[in-house]
Amino acid sequence: MNKSVPIAAAGFAVLAISGSALLGATTATAADGGKAALPHLAAKKAQVVACSGGTTVSMNYRSMDQQSIAAGATADVEGSQITVKGPKKGTDRILVTLSALAINGSSQLGLASLYKDGVGTPEGQKYFGYGSTPATVQFCGTINKGQHTFVVKMQDDGGTGLTMYNPTITFQRFN
């Protein structure tokens, strides 16, 4: 089994370790310039979660032109539905990535969710905010024996509606 950690996960580990080092400091400068004691926090080991169980079994990539979602509405991201047949035994992992661009210069905010067989996955909703740069969100799930359908849903959270330009969905499956 391949036990390599994706570059993004390694980056998160570095940030977690850096953050832990900052939190472990025992003094800080008070408002009057003196030293103020901070409570000591026990060092915690950074947890790295890799959405990989081994080798890639399959990868699907879909890109659309644009999609608009009305103010306060929730809609399936076009092209995001995929049906997969699970392994004969055990489980496989599936990594779902959504990225899009808003080129109108205004920041837009949405909430993305991954649904498996009509039920939201344990990761829940994730913020998907963007302006003139691409936004990306990832979900990690498992599949077991049988047929499973995944879909990404996007909800407008800014109250003005949102438009995703070039939304791209990538499904990567590992065994």
Domains and CATH numbers, the chain: 1-50 (no CATH), 56-174 (2.60.120.40)
For 19-47, the pLDDT digits (tens) are 433 333 334 444 555 554 544 545 544 44
Give the pLDDT score at 76: 95
Question: What integer pLDDT is reported at residue 16 of this predicted model?
Answer: 39
Residue-level pLDDT at 130:
67
Give the CA radius of gyration of the chain.
20
Longest alpha-carbon distance in the chain: 66
Q: Is 138 exposed, middle or buried (0-12, 13-18, 19+ CB in 10 A)?
A: middle
Alpha-carbon distances, residue 99 vs 16, 83, 155 (angstroms):
24, 20, 15
Q: Dihedral sign, CA of 59, 65, 70, 71? A: positive
Tens digit of each residue's pLDDT (9 = 90 or more) over 52-106: 667 888 999 999 989 988 988 999 999 999 999 999 999 999 999 999 886 555 6
Residue 134: per-residue pLDDT: 78
Strand-pairing partners, residue 95, are 140, 172
Output the pTM of the full model. 0.67
State what percent of residues in the chain have pLDDT above 90: 33
- Short-list 175, 114, 169, 112, CA closest to 141: 114
Rounded CA-CA distance 142/148 in Å is 10
